[in-house]
Amino acid sequence: MRIIVAGCGKVGETIVSKLTGEGHDIAVIDVNNRVIGSITDNYDVMGIVGNSASYSVQKDAGIEDTDLLIAVTDSDEENLLTCLFAKKAGNCNTIARVRNPVYWKELPYIKEELGLSMTINPEYAAATEAARILRFPSAMKIDIFARGRVELLQFVIPEGSMIADCSLIEMAKKIGGGVLVCSVVRDNEVYIPNGQFVLQAKDTVGVIIAPNRIKDFFKRIGVETHSVRNTIIVGGGKIAYYLATQLLNYGIDVKIIERDIERCEELSEQLPKATIINADGTDQDVLLEEGVETCGSFVSLTGIDEENVFLSLIVKKLNPNAKVITKTNRSNIDFLIQGMDLGTLIHPKSITAEYILRFVRAMQNSIGSNMETLYYIVEGKAEALEFTIHEDAPVIGIPLSQLKLKENVLIACIYRARQIIIPDGQSSIEVGDSVIIVTTHRGFGDIRDILADA
């Protein structure tokens, strides 16, 4: 597909990286000449310097032959205007990043009036992921499938757990059915395990499970399931606002520490039920004074990755029992923080890329299936995808034991008529099923991609 990406900041570059990796023809637009130079040096893309909301700039980028335009500049207004011009000039699909809470509340109207194919708010998406974790802090990450009826949880096996040193077959005998281990990370290696795979303490494990079984599952394997009653957030930006709004609705007490007095005043008006503290949240004395040693959870959301890492390490030392969430945006520090105990990591730019890649792959689908959901799991080293099966899919009615799958592909769950099926070799896929696939491959957009001869 031919795609134009307008705006080459952190989010834009991440999107370009993912899309070029899947073989798309990409053009990029940015007002900064040096940014365009860096992108074109690092990726095989065409670069245009200029304002993406200009028709002449879009024409130079090839808008008339473009299938999709993605507008992710720093300005909501420019993104919306860029998409409006692209729709008129190229009649292509358009995706706009919209971050301002004022616009976010009116998105259904904006989307319809401007003919947008999709809107994305990285801060809201990141806040939603963080809120999901704080509602169930035993997990490191929770991804949702089948419209909330199936979940993929990632957690670390604690020392002394009943499933440590167990094969997956033995684990199933101990805890019963309804749970499937679909991924294991050990020493930075990713495994798509079979029944003979033996789990170890400190493995990071991904399991497919129904939401109503989560507490019982964790109780059986010796993982605490206490809920968070309060949280301290350092950094009062857009993510903090969206996160606090959701947590307050869940009945969780929220305290936000922000050094900018004007932003504190804004948050006090927007979040009257939250406690807003005007102070430097990176000051350890401030953290102690505001109760970090006894808080149930802590979220570091400053605009500087190094500050967030530093804060999370301090809190882990002061309050080992707190659930900690750390926001990072720069991929070039990932290799430095691997192995650090930073709790759950959230990457707004990667979450945005997930949403957009899901849309792009859905545009490419053949008639065999629709891709409904895409998540990067185990720090982006694998993908979990959900497909809805149509009539001519080549997998229908065949026992799974007879399907010739590519290596490192696992059919993790089948959702049929409100029933969650953890499949075995005799299970089969039928029309209308939602099928969850876990794989270390990249670029699957149709259910037939899982087959060895695809």
Location of each CATH 3.40.50.720 domain in the chain: 2-120, 230-346
C-alpha–C-alpha distance, residues 99 and 349, integer Å:
13
Q: Which two tokens stand for residue 69?
A: 């335009």
- What is the mean predicted confidence (pLDDT) over 424-445? 93
C-alpha–C-alpha distance, residues 344 and 450, integer Å:
30
The yes or no reply on domain 2-120 and CATH 3.40.50.720 is yes
- What is the mean predicted confidence (pLDDT) over 173-187? 89
> Please, where are the H alpha helices in 319-386?
334-337, 348-364
Longest dimension (CA), the chain: 66
CB 95 within 8 A of CB 69: yes
Could you tell me if residue 50 is left (phi over 0), alpha (psi between -120 and 50 degrees) or otherwise beta? Answer: left
Q: Which two tokens stand for residue 441?
A: 């491959």
pLDDT in tens, 165-179: 999 999 988 888 789
pLDDT in tens, 43-57: 999 999 999 999 999
3-state secondary structure of 146: helix
What's the CATH superfamily of 230-346? Answer: NAD(P)-binding Rossmann-like Domain (3.40.50.720)
> 270, 226, 278, 277: which is closest to 252 by C-alpha?
226
3-state secondary structure of 256: strand
C-alpha–C-alpha distance, residues 307 and 284, integer Å:
12
pTM tops 0.75: yes
Quote the Cα angle for 157-384-440, to 5°: 85
pLDDT attached to residue 337: 67
CB 7 within 8 A of CB 74: yes
- What is the mean predicted confidence (pLDDT) over 330-350? 75
pLDDT attached to residue 368: 62
Residue 332 predicted with pLDDT over 70? no
The band of 147, judged by pLDDT with boundaries at 50, 70 and 90, is confident
Radius of gyration of the chain (CA): 23
The helix (H) or strand (E) run that includes residue 68 is strand 68-71
Helices vs. strands in the chain: H and E counts, helices first: 15, 22
C-alpha–C-alpha distance, residues 69 and 66, integer Å:
7
- What is the mean predicted confidence (pLDDT) over 357-385? 81
Q: Which two tokens stand for residue 374?
A: 């895409």
- What is the mean predicted confidence (pLDDT) over 139-151? 89
pLDDT attached to residue 369: 63
C-alpha–C-alpha distance, residues 32 and 305, integer Å:
23
pLDDT in tens, 242-286: 999 999 999 999 999 999 999 999 999 999 999 999 999 999 999
Q: Provide, for the chain, the percentages of residues in helix, strand and coil under a 3-state DSSP scheme, each rounded to the nearest 5.
A: 35, 25, 35
C-alpha–C-alpha distance, residues 438 and 454, integer Å:
17
C-alpha–C-alpha distance, residues 34 and 40, integer Å:
10
Residue 338 predicted with pLDDT over 70? no
pLDDT attached to residue 205: 94
Q: Which one-letter DSSP state was computed for residue 429?
A: B
Return the CATH fold of 360-450. Alpha-Beta Plaits (3.30.70)
CB 385 within 8 A of CB 436: yes
**CATH number for region 127-221:** 3.30.70.1450
Residue 71 predicted with pLDDT over 90? yes
Rounded to a whole number of angstroms, the distance between the first and last alpha carbons of the chain is 20
> 119, 7, 5, 8: which is closest to 67 by C-alpha?
5
User: Tell me, what amino acid is at 270?
Assistant: Q
C-alpha–C-alpha distance, residues 373 and 365, integer Å:
13
The band of 365, judged by pLDDT with boundaries at 50, 70 and 90, is low
Location of each CATH 3.30.70.1450 domain in the chain: 127-221, 360-450
pLDDT in tens, 1-24: 999 999 999 899 999 998 998 889
CB 157 within 8 A of CB 166: no
The band of 102, judged by pLDDT with boundaries at 50, 70 and 90, is confident
What is the residue whose two structure tokens read 């859905």? Answer: 362
Residue 367 predicted with pLDDT over 60? no
C-alpha–C-alpha distance, residues 446 and 115, integer Å:
26
- What is the mean predicted confidence (pLDDT) over 347-366? 83
C-alpha–C-alpha distance, residues 434 and 416, integer Å:
7
Higher pLDDT, 337 or 18: 18
